[in-house]
Amino acid sequence: MLAGKLYTLEQTLQEATDSATYRIVLNAQHPVFEGHFPGRPVVPGVTMMQTIQELLEGKLQRKVVLKKAGNMKFLNMIDPHAHPLIDVTVQHKEQEGEIKVTATLKFEELTFMKFQGSFVTAS
């Protein structure tokens, strides 16, 4: 779990039945940045996906696992020193046993990642 270690949930900016936008604060001192990359830290893509998954789990109040990453675009690197605040928007729709998800990580006008895919409830 990355919450409380790599990032802290600062606030929920918007919440509806099928979506939410969260503001997270990155911990630039987290050990992941020592190796990714020394002197030029960036948030690894896998941790961006894990953050989306954790926020979705909090919203749904159950564990989920990634089934399919249909479209995943990394548009800008996240330097935790330059961009410690990130807004994560997660929209979901449950259909045919899957949870269809669209998510973005951005701050103000700068988009870091876009994701479209599906999750299923963990067994």
pTM, entire model: 0.96
Q: pLDDT tens digits for 12-24?
A: 999 999 999 999 9
Q: What are the pLDDT digits (tens) for 66-80?
A: 999 999 999 999 999
Query: Which residue bears the tokens 């936008």?
Result: 21
Name the DSSP class of 81.
Answer: T
Concatenating the DSSP letter of every residue in 29-61 gives TSTHHHHS-TTS----HHHHHHHHHHHHHHHHT
Q: Measured between alpha carbons, how far is 19 from 103 in angstroms, rounded to an integer?
A: 9
Give the mean model confidence (pLDDT) for residues 78-103: 97
Q: What proportion of the chain, given as a percentage, has pLDDT over 70?
A: 100
- pLDDT tens digits for range 40-64: 999 999 999 999 999 999 999 999 9
Sheet with 85-95, strands from edge to edge, namely 7-16, 19-26, 85-95, 98-107, 110-121, 64-74
Q: In this predicted structure, what is the pLDDT of residue 38?
A: 82
